[in-house]
Chain A
Amino acid sequence: MIGDTFGWLTDAAHWRSTNFDTGIWDQLLAHVGFSAIALVVALLVGLPLGLWIGHTGRATWLVTVVNAVRALPTVGVLVLLVVVIAPNFYGRTNAGYLIPTEIVLVLLAVPPILSNAYAGVQNVPPAVRDAAFGMGMTGRQVLARVELPNALPLIFSGFRSATLQVIATATIASYVTLGGLGRFIYDGLAQQDYPQMISGGLLVAALALSVDLLLALVQRYTVSRGLTGRLPRAGRVRREGADSRSAVLTEELASQGAR
C-alpha cells in the first residue's frame, strides 16, 4: 500500500491537468485559494474585534459566544447552507457552493483568532498599560504601540491554529462538488482507489505543515525579542540549566553503574 501510494504521488501524470482531469498542482492552488479567502476574511473580522474587546473590556460575552460556535458540526452546517443558498445560483456559477464553503471555514477560523487576540491584549500587565496611558498615549496609541505588539505571540498562535484547521477542513469543498485537494480523498474513496485517497490526505498534511512553518518564520521576525525570551543572556542561563540537568543525569548513571 505504501509503495502504491508512493507510485501514485510520483506519477507525473497525476500532477498535470488534462482536458478530463484536474492535476495535483491545480487542485493545490484551488485548495490554497479556498483557505486563503477564509483566513483573510476571518482575520479581518476576528482580529479587530478581539483587540477591541480586549482593549475596552466591553462585550466580553462575545468571546464566549464565538467560542461556542466551535461546537457546530462543520459538515452539517455546510450541507444546510448549500441546501439554502445553492438553488439561488443554480446553473450559473459555482458561487452557490463556494459561499457556503467559505462561510463554514470562516466560522471555524474566527474563534481562535478572536479569542487569542482578546487574551493577548488582556494579558498585558496592568502596570504596562497604566504606564502607557500615563506617558500620554491616546487610547489608539496604547492599542497600536503597546497592546498589539505585546499580544502578537498569542495572536500568532491563534492564527496558526486557525490556519491548520482551515487547510485541513477545506477538503470538504470537494464534498459539495468543488475542487481542492479533498477531490483526491473523495474520489479515491468513491473509486476505492486507496493510494489516491491516502495521497490526498498526505498532500493536505504537507500543505498545512509547510504553511505553519512559513508562519513560524514570519512570527520569528515580527515578534519582539523582548517577549520571546530569545535573548543572549537568557539563552546562556538556559544552557547552564541544561548543563546542571545533564550533570545530575551523569551522576545518576554513574551511581547505577556502581550498583
Chain B
Amino acid sequence: MIRFDRATKKYPDGTVAVDELELEAPTGQITVLVGPSGCGKTTSLRMVNRMIEPTSGTIWLDDTDTASMPAHELRRKIGYVIQHAGLFPHRTIVDNVATVPYLLGTGKREARSRAMELLERVGLDPAFAKRYPAQLSGGQQQRVGVARALAADPPVMLMDEPFSAVDPVVRDQLQDEFLRLQGELGKTIVFVTHDIDEAIKLGDRVAVLRVGGTLAQVAPPAELLSRPVDSFVAGFVGRDRGYRALGFTESGALPTHDEPTARLGEAVPQGHDLVLVVDGEQRPQGWLDPASARGTVEESDLLRGGTLATQGGTLRAALDACLSSPSRRGVVVDEQGRLLGSLTAREVLDLIERDEEPA
C-alpha cells in the first residue's frame, strides 16, 4: 500500500504542484492518476520514490515513511518505468534489465538469468538479450523498461506514462499484456497517464486530479463514468461516457439469430440482402453484396467493416458490432472465433434497458 498523507509540493517561485494530497493506492491493485497538464500527477508519482522531495506531508510505503531512508535505497525497492523507457544505450538489453540486481550486489550470472526470465515474461524473444537499445523499436524498448523495473521483484511499481510514446496499435497490445502480467504478479502499482481511456482500461481505481494538484475524485472506473462528482470530472471523462461505461457491463448470453452464410470459393448466392461469408472453420470473414459480385465468392468482394462481438463479452462490444456491421446485424462469435449468429442494435438496447441500473 502507498499512502499520500497531506503530501504537498511547492516550488520556490510559489507554484503549488501538489496540494495536500490524500490518496491511498491499495496493495496488489493498479491506481491510475489522471488529469490535465499541470495537475501534478507526475509530480505526485515522483514524490513516492523521492525523485521529487515533498515540501511537506508524508508518503507511506506500508508502515514505512519514505523519508526515513536514503533516497537511493528507497528507489531500489520500487520499480520505475518512464515514458521513453530511458534504457542505458551503452548496455545490452540483458544488462539493462539486470541494473537493479547489480546495484543490490547480486552476482552477474544470477542477475542475468533472472533478466532472461523477465524478458520472456514481458514477451520479448531471448535473442534480443545481446542487442543494444538502439536496435529495438519503441514498443520493444518499453517492454525492456517494464522488465527492468521488475528485475529486483519490487512489491511496488511506479509507471509514468509508459505507453504514451508508442503508436496506438502497439500501445493497445502493451496495455493488454501489462494487464495479463499484473494478473500474474499482483504488484501495487501507481500509473500516471493523461489519457482517460487508458486510465479506465487499466485502473482498478482511477484518481482524477485537477490543475493545482488537488484530488477531484477517486473511484473504480465504472463508478467514475456513471457518477462523476462534479462538472470537472464529468468533462474530463468525456462526452460518450455512457457508451464507454457499457464496456464494464457483461452482456450475459446474447440472444442470437441464425445467420445465412456463404463460403469463399462457392457460387455467389441469389438475392439482394448482404450475406455473411465464413471460412472453412465457420470464422466470419466479412459481408458480401450479392448484387455486386459475380461467379464465385472472392476475398476482394468482401466488406470487412464490421467488428465482432464475443459471446460473454461486454455490452459495448455487442452494440459496436451492430453499429459497425454493413448489414446492421451484429455478428456474435464464440471464444474460438466461430460464428454463433447475429443480433440487432434494437435487441442490444433492450438488454441495456432491462439492466435496471446501467453501471
**A136-B73, A136-B76, A149-B90 as given contacts; A130 in contact with B135, CB under 8 Å:** no
Asked if B1 lies at the interface with its beta carbon under 8 angstroms from chain A, I say no
- Decide if B103 touches A131 in the complex (CB within 8 Å): no
**A125-B86, A128-B87, A227-B90 as given contacts; A134 in contact with B133, CB under 8 Å:** no
Task: Report the nearest A residue to B132, measured CB to CB.
Answer: A226
Which segment, of B15-23, B77-85, B269-277, faces chain A? B77-85
Task: Report the nearest A residue to B134, measured CB to CB.
Answer: A226
Cβ 8 A contact of B86, one of A131, A152, A227: A131
Most buried by A among B51, B92, B133, B135: B135
Most buried by B among A132, A136, A227, A233: A136
- Decide if A134 touches B99 in the complex (CB within 8 Å): no
CA distance A137 to B76 in the complex (A): 8
CA distance A226 to B132 in the complex (A): 5
- Decide if A136 touches B135 in the complex (CB within 8 Å): no
- 0/1 interface trace, chain B 174-198, chain A, CB 8 Å (1 if under): 0000000000000000000000000
Q: How many residues of A are in contact with the other chain, CB < 8 A?
A: 25
- Residues of chain B within 8 A (CB-CB) of A231 are 131-132, 134-135
CA distance A130 to B49 in the complex (A): 12
Chain B interface residue count: which class?
20 to 34
Asked if B212 lies at the interface with its beta carbon under 8 angstroms from chain A, I say no
Asked if A229 lies at the interface with its beta carbon under 8 angstroms from chain B, I say yes
Asked if B100 lies at the interface with its beta carbon under 8 angstroms from chain A, I say yes
Asked if B89 lies at the interface with its beta carbon under 8 angstroms from chain A, I say yes
**A134-B51, A137-B103 as given contacts; A229 in contact with B134, CB under 8 Å:** yes
Asked if B294 lies at the interface with its beta carbon under 8 angstroms from chain A, I say no
Within 8 A of A (CB), among B59-98: 72-77, 80, 82-92
Measured CB to CB, the closest approach of chain A to B6, in angstroms, equals 24
Listed by A's residue number, 13 A-B pairs whose Cβ atoms lie within 8 Å are A127-B84, A127-B86, A128-B86, A131-B145, A133-B51, A133-B72, A134-B80, A134-B86, A135-B99, A136-B76, A136-B103, A137-B72, A227-B89
Which residues on B are within 8 Å of A, measured CB to CB?
49, 51, 72-77, 80, 82-92, 99-100, 103, 131-135, 145, 148
Q: Which 9 A-B pairs have the closest CB atoms?
A: A131-B86, A226-B132, A136-B76, A224-B90, A136-B75, A127-B86, A134-B80, A127-B84, A149-B90
